[in-house]
Amino acid sequence: MRNLDFQKLVPAYVQGFESYQPSKPDPELMKAYGVDHLHRLNNNENALGPPPEVSTIVEKFPVKNVPVYPSGDCFYLRQKLAAFYGKTPDRFLIGNGSCEVISSVIKAFCEEGDNIITADQTFAVYEWVAEFSGFEARLIPLKNNRFDHRAMLDAMDENTKILFVCNPNNPTGTYWDTETMEAFLDEVDNRAIVVIDEAYFEYVEKEDYPDGMTLMERYPNVIVFRTFSKMYALAALRIGYLCGTADIVELVSRAHIVYSVNTLAQEAAVAALSNDGTFIRETLDMVGEAKKLLCGLFEERKLEYVCNEGNYLMVKVPLPDTLMYRMLMRKGIMVRTMTTFRFPNWIRVSLVQRPVMEAFCKAFVEVLDNR
Amino acid sequence: METANRSISLRLFADSSLIPLVQGAIEQAASVFGMSHQRVLKLVMAGEEIISYLAQTAHGGEVQITITHGGWCVIVDFSFEAAPSDLWIINLAAQKKANSGQEVEHLGLLLASRMMDRFTVRLKGRKVHLELRLDYEYLVLQPKLVRPKMLRGPLTIVDNPEPALIKEACAAVVNQYPPYLVHTAFFTPGKTVDMVAGGYLDMIVAVDEQGQLAGMLSWRAPSQNSISFSGPYIFAEGDDVARKLEMHLLKRVGRGNAESLFSDLATAQLVSENFESLGQIEFLQEDEQSIQMAVWFRLLRDDAGGAVWAHHDIVEFLEKKYSDLCLMRTIRQVDAAGESLPERSVFSTRLRPELKEATFVPMVVGVDVSESIARQVAALREDDYRNIFFHIDLASGWQAAMGGALLENGFVPRILLPKGGKSDVVVFQYA
Ligand SMILES: Cc1ncc(COP(=O)(O)O)c(C=O)c1O
């Protein structure tokens, strides 16, 4: 038998691609850094946890359902979403996290020679999926920390299939207002798909923030992404979805794995949507309070920071962000280093309950004073 | 480097009757690749040295010779498969036990290296590679006195500077920086242009509103997971040129393959808050003057901690370094415990004759390790090598174990390069 030379089988665009290194499990990190607790401020999770309706589902999940495959197309959840948004179930496609639907959309629309357009300093998965699938990702620099709609339009050509707009943007929290979004969609003029990633939709309270779910009724090329990982606090269950016209959804579903969403996630998501919204209010209040506390500290320390929408903010530190990470980890605080987001020496901090935010402030000040 | 379509190979058996064939092949190929006659002859001579060395030490073995046009250089690679017990022949100062029991020394490899710009010996799987590299002749810049410029208007960073701008930047570096801070390629701007075009070197420059050159930074990827840079070179007064160049570099490499970024040649203008200090390395120049080179680094990713191996005599050195750098490592001690080792040690080598610099990396650590270090250092000293380094990757217990032998032979641990290899690397220097 021949020796296996798998390198020969691998396309160049995969060879050149670096695999994403997720961080190690908390217990491993705690052991490495010699701490007995770890505050996770790195993934924009909702530290308050999911609404109470979800707890009941999770706690009472019957073992007898474990050997049974889930609903392959998330039947009940799509019905629930349809009722929630006043649309029909065939307009929703559920994924194993919204990350999975990013991949399905790119697979459905792109072929060799095509490109996608997004920003350089945004959620990395659009760029990654495009590149490891062999498509060009045109990365447009942010302008004043915002997506630059003019430059994105200028970058379009006949091979542009999808434009990804992260609204509000992770990590800068900036968003396009309704006017900007509509002007952009008018100019795209149905030449390409526009994905509006609204992963942090529920965190935005601004009047002029556009709701993609409404816009898509006038702009059929719009696909909206939402997730249960952020506000709804179901990150461990991995569930997110997209919504678009029935035709587009049917098309994308051809490139989408069925049965990728487990039963518990589907049921928990239905339960989460049944909450009357009080837990959203509590979360927003917690985030608002945290913003005040942290921004006050950064002002006092004369540090540059970016705090807009979303349950996170960014601050620029006078040392390598990767060193800041290690020094904070020694004190039981895990933040997100931003060099990989092309914001060298910035850290992103998730906004959580006051006592943890106070612990962060204390550790942060100690690190700055001891460097 | 895309060289597949610019290389010529031949396969033969190591035998002295084939020396003329090898000479002819190198001569023809290098000429076709446009190398000047004088340089072609140097390559031919070095190639002859190697094949006759192999004909003696590895007689009859199959050798593949590949001659490649590397853009700014011609590379002649000799590769052959060697049984572990035969690998000793690739040491610079190898000793063979002759039948009589006497030891015969071979210096053929060192002889071959003298005429080259770079000579590398390394092991890739079971294949040994002996690589000769000779660069094309390029116009060499002489420093000129220039007055610093005043900048006008906002700065722009140029990502892929055109050849004219690259050459201008090289000249500015040569004019405004002492030679020891100048990457050797910058003395030959034409070579730098070819290196950038070949993807071996990356460069960014800063220009002002009127296109005046304000600064330059260059980098390369010496391994899969690290990047090393030279600069920042600043040519004009005005603030923030260094900071802008560094930030741009970090944005360029931040989402890439590399885990760590090191300075090759760090200038005094480096913005220290963007980096962590690793200490200093002393280099002896040709005129015997010593130069202290500051080494800086930063990780590009989060560090999750981990375990490293170390010889007990360098544990103290490591503990201090790890504590200063706030790097979480469990240090596991490895000491020779009487286990059976291969008879002979093998080190891969990189020689930079023009700097009289040699860097060793262990490939096999055998019972003769201490002797072998002593012998190879003696051979290099005889050849006037002044800067001798040993890199030990702490991912491997067997590499770490030779720390004791290095200390015995006059080496001292100087610098720790976090994630400089598979794991952290300790740079030992012959003192
Ligand atoms: C902008 C944005 N989109 C999508 C996601 C992915 O979320 P999910 O957990 O649904 O895959 C995230 C998560 O960090 C995000 O920040």
Compute the nearest-CA separation of B283 from chain A (Å): 28
Among A43, A104, A125, A226, say which to mutate for ligand 1: greatest number of ligand atoms within 8 Å of CB: A125
Beta carbons of A322 and B300 less than 8 Å apart: yes
Ligand 1 atom closest to the Cα of residue A227 is 10
Q: Is A259 left (phi over 0), alpha (psi -120 to 50) or beta?
A: left
Q: What is the DSSP letter of B99?
A: T
Does A229 sit in the ligand 1 pocket, CB within 6 Å? yes
- Shared domain for B177 and B259, answered yes or no, is yes
Q: Is residue B209 part of a domain?
A: yes
* Least confident window among A66-80, B94-108, B319-333: B94-108
Task: Identify the closest residue of chain A to B305 by CA–CA distance.
Answer: A32
Amino acid at A89: P
Note the pLDDT tens digit of each residue in B253-272: 998 889 999 999 999 999 99
Rounded CA-CA distance B76/B92 in Å is 18
Among A118, A121, A123, A234, say which to mutate for ligand 1: greatest number of ligand atoms within 8 Å of CB: A123
Rounded CA-CA distance A371/B326 in Å is 11
Q: B378 CB near a chain A CB, below 8 Å?
A: no
For residue A18, the chain B residues in CB contact (below 8 A) are 256-257
Give me the pLDDT at residue B287, please: 79
- Shared domain for B276 and B153, answered yes or no, is yes
Confidence grade of residue B352 (pLDDT, cut at 50, 70, 90): confident
Burial class (CB in 10 A: 0-12, 13-18, 19+), A300: exposed
Compute the nearest-CA separation of B368 from chain A (Å): 35
Rounded CA-CA distance A341/A338 in Å is 5
Query: Number of CB pairs < 8 Å for A and B?
Result: 72
Task: Identify the closest residue of chain B to A29 by CA–CA distance.
Answer: B304
Cβ contacts of residue B424 below 8 Å, gap of 6+?
B308, B327, B329, B393, B394, B395, B416, B417, B418
- What are the contacts of A43-46 at 24+ separation with CB within 8 A? A43/A235, A43/A336, A43/A350, A44/A170, A44/A200, A44/A230, A44/A310, A44/A311, A44/A312, A44/A348, A44/A350, A45/A229, A45/A230, A45/A233, A45/A235, A45/A350, A46/A230, A46/A231, A46/A232, A46/A233, A46/A283, A46/A311
The reply to whether domains A11-49+278-369 and A52-272 share a CATH topology is no
Question: Which residues of A sit within 8 Å Cβ distance of B?
Answer: 18, 21, 23-24, 28-29, 31-34, 120, 124, 127, 318-320, 322-323, 325-327, 329-330, 337, 339-342, 344-345
Residue of A127, A128, A168 lying closest to A145 (CA atoms): A168
Q: Which residue minimizes the CA distance to atom 7 of ligand 1?
A: A98
Note the pLDDT tens digit of each residue in A260-273: 999 999 999 999 99
Phi, psi of A220 (to 5 degrees): -65, -10
Among A106, A164, A204, A227, say which to mutate for ligand 1: greatest number of ligand atoms within 8 Å of CB: A227
Does the pLDDT value for residue B3 go beyond 50? no
Domain boundary among B299, B316, B337: B299
Beta carbons of B301 and A323 less than 8 Å apart: no
Does A267 sit in the ligand 1 pocket, CB within 6 Å? no
Query: Chain-centre distance of CA A256, in angstroms?
Result: 19
Q: Which residue minimizes the CA distance to atom 15 of ligand 1?
A: A199
- Shared domain for B283 and B386, answered yes or no, is no
Name the CA radius of gyration of chain A, rounded: 21
Distances (CA, A) of B341 to A192, A259, B125, B366: 65, 54, 20, 5
Give me the pLDDT at residue B106, please: 62
Beta carbons of B273 and A337 less than 8 Å apart: no
Name the residue ranges covered by the structural domains of chain A. 11-49+278-369, 52-272
Dist. CA B138 → ligand 1 center (Å): 52
Ligand 1 atom closest to the Cα of residue A169 is 1
- Shared domain for B257 and B129, answered yes or no, is no
Give helix A354-370 / helix A321-329 axis angle, nearest 10°.
120
Note the pLDDT tens digit of each residue in A148-160: 999 999 999 999 9
Does A237 sit in the ligand 1 pocket, CB within 6 Å? no
- Shared domain for B171 and B108, answered yes or no, is no
The mean predicted confidence, pLDDT, of chain B is 89
Q: What is the CATH T-level fold of the domain A52-272, as seen in this structure?
A: Aspartate Aminotransferase; domain 2 (3.40.640)
Confidence grade of residue A234 (pLDDT, cut at 50, 70, 90): very high
Number of folded domains that form chain B? 3
- Shared domain for B182 and B254, answered yes or no, is yes
Rounded CA-CA distance B389/B414 in Å is 10
Note the pLDDT tens digit of each residue in A33-61: 999 999 999 999 999 999 999 999 999 99
- Shared domain for B29 and B65, answered yes or no, is yes
Closest partner CB to A32 (pick from B275, B299, B328): B328
A236 touches A209 (CB < 8 A): no
- Shared domain for B314 and B404, answered yes or no, is yes
Give me the pLDDT at residue A53, please: 95
Q: B305 CB near a chain A CB, below 8 Å?
A: yes
Rounded CA-CA distance B246/B147 in Å is 24
Ligand 1 atom closest to the Cα of residue A235 is 9
- Shared domain for B117 and B153, answered yes or no, is no
β-strand B213-223 against B118-124: which pairing, if any?
unpaired
Closest partner CB to A24 (pick from B257, B298, B304): B304
Confidence grade of residue A309 (pLDDT, cut at 50, 70, 90): very high
SS3 B131: strand
**In this predicted complex, what is the ipTM?**
0.90
Instruction: Compute the average pLDDT of residues B356-368.
Output: 88
SS3 B73: strand
Does A249 sit in the ligand 1 pocket, CB within 6 Å? no
Does A333 sit in the ligand 1 pocket, CB within 6 Å? no
B372 touches B90 (CB < 8 A): no
Instruction: Compute the average pLDDT of residues A344-367.
Output: 98
B165 touches B193 (CB < 8 A): no
Among A42, A43, A77, A98, say which to mutate for ligand 1: greatest number of ligand atoms within 8 Å of CB: A98
SS3 A275: coil
Q: Is residue B142 part of a domain?
A: no
Dist. CA A96 → ligand 1 center (Å): 11
B274 touches B298 (CB < 8 A): yes
- Shared domain for B311 and B294, answered yes or no, is no
Rounded CA-CA distance B40/B25 in Å is 11
For residue B327, the chain A residues in CB contact (below 8 A) are 326
CATH number at residue B267: 3.40.630.30
Q: B243 CB near a chain A CB, below 8 Å?
A: no
3-state percent breakdown (helix, strand, coil) of chain A, nearest 5: 45, 15, 40
Instruction: Compute the average pLDDT of residues A351-357.
Output: 98
Beta carbons of B328 and A342 less than 8 Å apart: no
Which residues form the domain of B380?
A: 307-356+367-431
Confidence grade of residue B348 (pLDDT, cut at 50, 70, 90): confident
Q: Is residue B237 part of a domain?
A: yes
Amino acid at A78: R
A263 touches A71 (CB < 8 A): yes
Beta carbons of B247 and A330 less than 8 Å apart: no
Closest partner CB to A18 (pick from B251, B256, B276): B256
Q: Which residue minimizes the CA distance to atom 3 of ligand 1?
A: A199
For B196, other C-beta atoms within 10 Å of its C-beta total: 21
CATH number at residue B3: 3.30.565.10
Task: Identify the closest residue of chain A to B258 by CA–CA distance.
Answer: A18
Rounded CA-CA distance B35/A297 in Å is 63
Higher-confidence position of B70 and B147: B70
Q: What is the DSSP letter of A143?
A: B
Note the pLDDT tens digit of each residue in A69-122: 999 999 999 999 999 999 999 999 999 999 999 999 999 999 999 999 999 999
Beta carbons of A325 and B327 less than 8 Å apart: no
Burial class (CB in 10 A: 0-12, 13-18, 19+), A156: middle
Provide the chain B residues 153-192 that lie in CB contact (below 8 A) with chain A. none
Q: Considering the entire predicted model, what is its pTM?
A: 0.90
Note the pLDDT tens digit of each residue in B108-165: 677 778 788 888 888 887 788 999 999 999 988 888 877 777 888 889 999 999 999 9
Higher-confidence position of A360 and B354: A360
Give ∠ CA A105-A107-A113 in degrees, rounded to 5: 115
Rounded CA-CA distance B200/B172 in Å is 21
- Shared domain for B122 and B168, answered yes or no, is no
Does A341 sit in the ligand 1 pocket, CB within 6 Å? no
Closest partner CB to B326 (pick from A21, A23, A330): A330
Note the pLDDT tens digit of each residue in B207-219: 999 989 999 999 9
Cβ contacts of residue B339 below 8 Å, gap of 6+?
none
**Torsion sign, CA atoms A163, A166, A168, A174:** negative
Does the pLDDT value for residue A208 go beyond 50? yes
Confidence grade of residue B2 (pLDDT, cut at 50, 70, 90): very low
- Shared domain for B122 and B201, answered yes or no, is no
Phi, psi of A336 (to 5 degrees): -100, 125
Q: Is residue B144 part of a domain?
A: no
Q: What is the CATH T-level fold of the domain A11-49+278-369, as seen in this structure?
A: Aspartate Aminotransferase, domain 1 (3.90.1150)
- What are the contacts of A151-158 at 24+ separation with CB within 8 A? A152/A117, A152/A119, A152/A184, A153/A184, A153/A187, A153/A188, A155/A117, A156/A117, A156/A188, A156/A191, A156/A192, A157/A115
Give ∠ CA A365-A366-A367 in degrees, rounded to 5: 90
Residue of B243, B384, B300 lying closest to A322 (CA atoms): B300
Give me the pLDDT at residue B157, please: 95
Give me the pLDDT at residue B105, please: 59
Does A123 sit in the ligand 1 pocket, CB within 6 Å? yes
Percent with pLDDT over 90 in chain A: 92
SS3 per residue for A150-210: HHHHHCCCCCEEEEEEECCCCCCCCCCCHHHHHHHHHHHCCCCEEEEECCCHHHCCCCCCC
Does A45 sit in the ligand 1 pocket, CB within 6 Å? no
Does the pLDDT value for residue A285 go beyond 90? yes
Compute the nearest-CA separation of B4 from chain A (Å): 15
A278 touches A53 (CB < 8 A): no
Beta carbons of A325 and B275 less than 8 Å apart: no
For A96, other C-beta atoms within 10 Å of its C-beta total: 18
Give me the pLDDT at residue B111, please: 76
Q: Is residue B362 part of a domain?
A: no
Note the pLDDT tens digit of each residue in B382-403: 888 999 999 999 998 889 999 9
Compute the nearest-CA separation of A177 from chain B (Å): 28
Among A229, A243, A340, say which to mutate for ligand 1: greatest number of ligand atoms within 8 Å of CB: A229
**What is the torsion angle, in degrees rounded to the nearest 10, for the CA atoms of residue B238, residue B240, residue B246 and residue B247?**
-140
For residue B328, the chain A residues in CB contact (below 8 A) are 32-34, 326, 329
Note the pLDDT tens digit of each residue in B146-158: 777 788 888 999 9
Q: Is residue B400 part of a domain?
A: yes
B110 touches B340 (CB < 8 A): no
Q: Is residue B343 part of a domain?
A: yes
Domain boundary among B271, B299, B327: B299
DSSP string, B270-326: --GGGSEEEEEEEEE-TTS-EEEEEEEEEESS----EEEEE-GGGHHHHHHHHHHHT
The mean predicted confidence, pLDDT, of chain A is 95
Give me the pLDDT at residue B1, please: 38
Give helix A246-254 / helix A98-109 axis angle, nearest 10°.
90
Does the pLDDT value for residue A242 go beyond 60? yes
Rounded CA-CA distance A54/A66 in Å is 18
